[in-house]
Amino acid sequence: MRINREILTGYLLEDTERGDLTSDVVVPDIDSYAEIVSKDDGIICGLEETAFLFGYAGAKVVLTASDGERVSAGRKLMEIRGKAKAILLVERTALNIIGRMSGIATKTDIIVRKARSVNPKIRIAGTRKTSPGARAIDKKAIVAGGGDPHRYDLSDAFLIKDNHLAVCPAADAIRKAKEYSAYKKIEIEAESPADALADAKAGADIIMLDNMTPEKVSAALGLITDAGLRGRVCIEISGGIDAKNFEDYAALDIDAISMGALTHSVRNFDVSLNMKPGVKNFTVKI
């Protein structure tokens, strides 16, 4: 998944539109060398985006780790060589990107591995509960952590939710969606086991069991299975799912859990950039 370059330069512009006062005044026009180092353990992500931004500013980069790789604290991730002012211009934007993306990727990886230990087929998916302007990097980070990105935006698939159902009955909504396109998945939110069964009978491809207890999820699965429809629908669980309770749901015969917590409550992954005196050669990979 490649991030639009205009999005990335927009992140840099947010920090540099009026220049870098400190570096412009106090930093001499010299060549320099820097390293980015991990200070946490987990899945690293955002190196590709960061390398682009340093290159955009005129610096040269060698990556010593790869996006999606598991790293330990102290691991060197990147070497940067160029004008000191160029490196310092990008520093904070670069660390913000790596920190956020790696935090999401690491959290996703932990949840995916735990969920699949009780249900090997399950998918852990993100949602559109992303930080404004950061959806592209948030979704890429979910994938790096082994998760499913779910919908990128409102055009990706039909997702008929409670506010849609407030103005259009479920059966009518599913029928209209099917008439419009044979190529877009139709997902619908169900708030009770009876609703889930009705939606399956109406032809939904994916049924999102929203804010249901594990007991109600089991009841919905039983109704759909007894009707002979379980093999034709994907069952997704969502609403109030977090790192404390997801295993209770993962143990059920479901296909996916979508979790806004992957992106709306991010613990930043700690990385640092260290400027080194003078200029040295890059690491040579053999």
DSSP calls for 197-226? HHHHHHT-SEEEEES--HHHHHHHHHHHHH
CATH of the domain at 201: 3.20.20.70
Based on the domain organization, do 166 and 253 belong to the same domain? yes
Question: What is the reported pLDDT for 282?
Answer: 59
Based on the domain organization, do 100 and 178 belong to the same domain? no
Question: What is the reported pLDDT for 240?
Answer: 84
Is 212 within the bounds of a domain? Answer: yes
Question: What is the reported pLDDT for 281?
Answer: 65
Based on the domain organization, do 232 and 271 belong to the same domain? no
Based on the domain organization, do 31 and 54 belong to the same domain? yes
pLDDT in tens, 87-100: 999 999 999 999 99
Q: At 188, give phi and psi (nearest 5°).
A: -140, 145
Catalytic residue among 129, 178, 184, 185: 129
Based on the domain organization, do 102 and 166 belong to the same domain? no
Question: What is the reported pLDDT for 23?
Answer: 87
Is 146 within the bounds of a domain? Answer: no
Give kind and range of the element (H or E) at residue 174.
helix 170-180
- Known binding positions for substrate: 92, 127-129, 151, 161, 189, 210, 238-240, 259-261
Is 42 within the bounds of a domain? Answer: yes
Is 115 within the bounds of a domain? Answer: no
Say how far residue 183 (Cα) sits from the centre of its chain: 25
Based on the domain organization, do 272 and 253 belong to the same domain? no
Based on the domain organization, do 215 and 271 belong to the same domain? no
Query: What is the extent of the structural domain holding 272?
Result: 5-108+267-276
Widest CA span of the chain, in angstroms?
A: 75
Q: How many domains does one find in the chain?
A: 2
Question: What is the reported pLDDT for 283?
Answer: 62
**Gap between the terminal Cα atoms of the chain:** 28
Based on the domain organization, do 238 and 271 belong to the same domain? no
Based on the domain organization, do 241 and 271 belong to the same domain? no
Based on the domain organization, do 220 and 272 belong to the same domain? no
- Known binding positions: 92, 127-129, 151, 161, 189, 210, 238-240, 259-261
Is 121 within the bounds of a domain? Answer: no
| Residue numbers in the chain where pLDDT is lower than 50 | 284-286
Distance CA 50, CA 66 (A): 12
Question: What is the reported pLDDT for 173?
Answer: 98
Say how far residue 61 (Cα) sits from the centre of its chain: 25
Q: Is 159 left (phi over 0), alpha (psi -120 to 50) or beta?
A: beta
Based on the domain organization, do 88 and 9 belong to the same domain? yes
Question: What is the reported pLDDT for 286?
Answer: 36
Distance CA 124, CA 26 (A): 48
Based on the domain organization, do 95 and 167 belong to the same domain? no
Query: Is 178 among the catalytic positions?
Result: no
